[in-house]
Amino acid sequence: KAGVTQTPRYLIKTRGQQVTLSCSPISGHRSVSWYQQTPGQGLQFLFEYFSETQRNKGNFPGRFSGRQFSNSRSEMNVSTLELGDSALYLCASGETDRGYGYTFGSGTRLTVV
């Protein structure tokens, strides 16, 4: 079956702009979670959506938001971009919520200039 699809793969934005990233989970998976990966902070949990509801949120400012649609596709939005938001943004989907078997996408590489 198809894997987790993240679009776009690469993105360059200017400080102050906003950006929307998309994640299409594996068919049938209801859980979608987002992570930010930077060289300095490593992999950090942003938030998780399950059946269109945000169930868990990491320690990120309110500029980071997300949503999930009825078909389980998810988007995350970052407003008022800062240079420090440059990172690899990863999405993971799962059919359970027990910590195992999550499938990650290849990520979106965001560069803020």
Cβ density class 34-70: b for 16+ within 10 Å, e for less: bbbeeeeeeeeebbbbbeeeeeeeeebeeebbbebee
Q: Report the residue number, 18 or 41, with the smaller CB distance to another protein.
A: 41
Quote the tokens at residue 22: 């998309």
Does residue 72 touch another protein according to CB under 8 A? no
Query: How far, CA to CA in Å, does 23 sit from each of 27, 30, 37, 96?
Result: 12, 12, 16, 18
Tell me how far, at minimum, the Cβ of 53 lies from another protein, in Å.
10
Q: Which of 24, 85, 105, 112 binds another protein (CB under 8 A)?
A: 105
Does residue 60 touch another protein according to CB under 8 A? no
Q: Report the residue number, 19 or 46, with the smaller CB distance to another protein.
A: 46
Query: How many residues in the shown chain lie near another protein by CB under 8 A?
Result: 28
Q: Report the residue number, 69 or 80, with the smaller CB distance to another protein.
A: 69
78: closest CA among 36, 25, 29? 36
Does residue 107 touch another protein according to CB under 8 A? yes
By the 8 A CB rule, do 82 and 15 touch? yes
Site residues (CB under 8 A) for another protein? Answer: 4, 31, 33, 35, 42-45, 48, 50, 55-56, 58, 90-92, 94, 97-107
